[in-house]
Homo-oligomer: A and B are copies of this chain.
Amino acid sequence: MILPMPKYRVGLIGCGNIGTAFAELLTERRQAISAMTGIDLELARIAVKDPAKKRADFLPLSLFVEDPIEVASAPDIDIIVELVGGVDPAREVLLTAIGSGKPVVTANKELIARHGPELFEAAQSNQVDVFFEAAAVAAVPILRPLRESFAGEDVVRIMGIINGTTNYMLTRMSDEGISYDEALSLAQQYGYAEPDPSADVEGTDAASKLAILASLAFKRAVPAEAVQRDGIEGLDQEDFQLAARFGYEIKLLAVAKAIRNPATGEPEIGAQVFPALVEKTHPLASVRDTYNAVAVSGAAAGELMFIGHGAGRAPTASAILGDVIATADHLQRDSYRSVPVGPRATPYPIDDLTHAFYVRMHVADEPGVLSDVSGVLARHGVSIRLVNQEGLRDTQKSATVVFITYQAAERAMREAMEELRSHNSVVEVGRVLRILET
C-alpha cells in the first residue's frame, strides 16, 4: 500500500518584500522539499491589503484575499505564516490561528518581543507550534539550538552583534576612517539604513532581538523594556583610531547575563546594548559589514558562536521556510513543541553591572591634571589599568588623555564621569565605551 503524501496548505499573511521572497522560495523548493521530507507544502492563500494589485508572475491573483482573520480561521488552511509586521493586526491574526488549532510561523520581532509570552501560552493550551526563527538574527539558526540543544544547559551569558545596519556603519568607520555622518549616509544609500535610522542607531532594534534571545537562553521572559540602551550616535572617528592603536575594534554589542542574587540564590538577568571595544583577535571583531553574530556561554557547553546574515530577503525567507517545514513535520506526527519560556525574569540592577571602560578626555595641558583626574576616578572606586596621553590637540593647550579602567560598576563610572564633566581641568569628556571582557 502506498500512503498518499501528506499535504499542508499554507496561509500567508502579508506579501511585501519578505513575504514575496518566502512565497518564491517555497514555490521554487516545493518539489525538493517533498522529495526529501515526504511532505507537500502548498501556498494556498495570501492575505494583503489590496488583493487586486498586480504581483509577481508566479503568484496568481486567485491566491489573494483581503481579510487576514478569515485566513487565520479558515478550516482548509493548515499553517499560518505571518509576515505583516507590527503588533496590529498581527497579534490578533496569530491568536486567531492558534485558537483554531493552527501552528504559526512569524518573523515579527516586535510582536514576539512584546507579546511573546501571551502567544506561547495560547499555543501551549492549543497544543500547536509557534516558530519565529526569523524574528531574531534572521537566517542565523540560533533560536532552535537555544530551544532544543540547550534545553539542559545552564546558560550564563548570551551576547552578540545583532544589528546589521550599525555593524555596516561601524565597519566603514573603522576601515575607511570616515565620520559617523558619512557612514550613515552610505548605509542609507545602500538601503541598509532607513531614512529615519533611529531604531537601528539608538539600539532599539537590537534591544528587541536581545529580549527574544535572552528569553530563550535563560528560559524566562525578558521584556525589551528591561534592556538598557546606549546607541552609536555621535561615535567619533578619533575613538576608532585610538581603539585600533590599543588593538580593538568598536562594535555595537547586545549582552545579557545571568547573575545569581546572593540573597535569594535566584538568577537575575542584566541586559544591555552598547558600543564596545572588542579585542581584534576576538571572533566578534571579525564580524564585518551587515553580518550578525551571537555568542552563547553555557556552564557545560562553554562558549559558542553563531555568525551569519542578520537580515536580507533570501536569508530571512530561508529561516521562515525552515520553520514551516519543522511545523509541517510536527503536524504529520500530530506533535508540537512548546516554547520553553517561563515567567518573567527578575532584572539585575543595571547600575551594579560591571565592565572595564574606555574613556577619552580633553584636559588642560598643565601639571597635575592626570593626578587630579585619576583621583576623581579612584574616589569613585574606579581603578585605572592604562593611561595614554597624546600631544597637544589644538592651540588651546588641551591634551587628549585616554583611560582604560579595570572592572567597575556602571554607577561608579557614571558618577565619576559626572564629576569630571564639571571639573576645572577637564575641557571635554568624550564617549565612554565599555570593553568586552573575554
Q: Is B302 in contact with A309, judged by CB distance below 8 angstroms?
A: yes
Instruction: Assess whether A148 is interfacial by the CB under 8 Å rule.
Output: yes
Q: Mark A16-53, 1 if CB is under 8 A from B, else 0.
A: 00000000011001001100110000000000000000
Q: Is A301 in contact with B318, judged by CB distance below 8 angstroms?
A: yes
Interface residues of A in 259-304 (CB under 8 A from B): 281-283, 285-288, 298-304
Q: Determine the distance from Cα of A309 to Cα of B153 in the docked complex, in whole angstroms.
A: 14
Residues on B with beta carbons closer than 8 Å to the beta carbon of A140: 304
Residues on B with beta carbons closer than 8 Å to the beta carbon of A342: 36
Chain B's closest residue to A342 (CB) is B36
Instruction: Assess whether A408 is interfacial by the CB under 8 Å rule.
Output: no
Instruction: Assess whether A378 is interfacial by the CB under 8 Å rule.
Output: no
**A152 and B286 in contact, given A36-B342, A315-B300 (Cβ under 8 angstroms):** no
Residues on B with beta carbons closer than 8 Å to the beta carbon of A306: 304-307
Instruction: Assess whether A8 is interfacial by the CB under 8 Å rule.
Output: no
Q: How far is the CB of A36 from chain B (nearest CB, A)?
A: 6
CB < 8 Å neighbour of A133 from B149, B300, B302, B315: B149
Q: Determine the distance from Cα of A29 to Cα of B154 in the docked complex, in whole angstroms.
A: 9
Interface residues of A in 299-329 (CB under 8 A from B): 299-309, 312, 314-315, 317-319, 321-326, 329
Instruction: Assess whether A144 is interfacial by the CB under 8 Å rule.
Output: yes
Instruction: Assess whether A340 is interfacial by the CB under 8 Å rule.
Output: yes
Residues on B with beta carbons closer than 8 Å to the beta carbon of A33: 151-152
Q: How far is the CB of A436 from chain B (nearest CB, A)?
A: 14
Q: Is B301 in contact with A308, judged by CB distance below 8 angstroms?
A: yes
**A304 and B139 in contact, given A281-B288, A322-B148, A322-B149 (Cβ under 8 angstroms):** yes
Q: Is B322 in contact with A152, judged by CB distance below 8 angstroms?
A: yes
**A151 and B302 in contact, given A335-B333, A336-B333 (Cβ under 8 angstroms):** no
Interface size (A, Cβ < 8 Å)?
A: 61
Interface residues of A in 121-161 (CB under 8 A from B): 133, 139-141, 144-145, 148-154
Chain B's closest residue to A146 (CB) is B141
Residues on B with beta carbons closer than 8 Å to the beta carbon of A325: 148, 151-152
Instruction: Assess whether A229 is interfacial by the CB under 8 Å rule.
Output: no
Q: Determine the distance from Cα of A99 to Cα of B356 in the docked complex, in whole angstroms.
A: 57
Instruction: Assess whether A337 is interfacial by the CB under 8 Å rule.
Output: yes
Q: How far is the CB of A79 from chain B (nearest CB, A)?
A: 13
Instruction: Assess whether A330 is interfacial by the CB under 8 Å rule.
Output: yes
Residues on B with beta carbons closer than 8 Å to the beta carbon of A257: none
Residues on B with beta carbons closer than 8 Å to the beta carbon of A340: 36-37
Q: Determine the distance from Cα of A141 to Cα of B296 in the docked complex, in whole angstroms.
A: 11
Q: Determine the distance from Cα of A342 to Cα of B36 in the docked complex, in whole angstroms.
A: 8
**A25 and B152 in contact, given A36-B219, A309-B301, A336-B333 (Cβ under 8 angstroms):** yes
Chain B's closest residue to A38 (CB) is B338
Q: Is B145 in contact with A300, judged by CB distance below 8 angstroms?
A: no
Q: Is A335 in contact with B330, judged by CB distance below 8 angstroms?
A: yes
Q: Is B318 in contact with A298, judged by CB distance below 8 angstroms?
A: yes
Q: Is A29 in contact with B324, judged by CB distance below 8 angstroms?
A: no
Q: Determine the distance from Cα of A304 to Cα of B321 in the docked complex, in whole angstroms.
A: 16
Q: Is A307 in contact with B283, judged by CB distance below 8 angstroms?
A: yes
Q: Is A304 in contact with B152, judged by CB distance below 8 angstroms?
A: no
Q: Is A141 in contact with B151, judged by CB distance below 8 angstroms?
A: no
**A314 and B300 in contact, given A36-B219, A152-B321, A322-B152 (Cβ under 8 angstroms):** yes
Q: How far is the CB of A13 from chain B (nearest CB, A)?
A: 19
Known contacts A152-B325, A299-B314, A300-B314, then 6 further A-B pairs from the complex at CB < 8 Å, ordered by chain A residue:
A33-B152, A141-B149, A144-B149, A151-B326, A152-B324, A301-B318
Across chains A and B, which 5 residue pairs bring their CB atoms closest together, nearest first? A141-B149, A300-B318, A304-B308, A141-B145, A305-B307
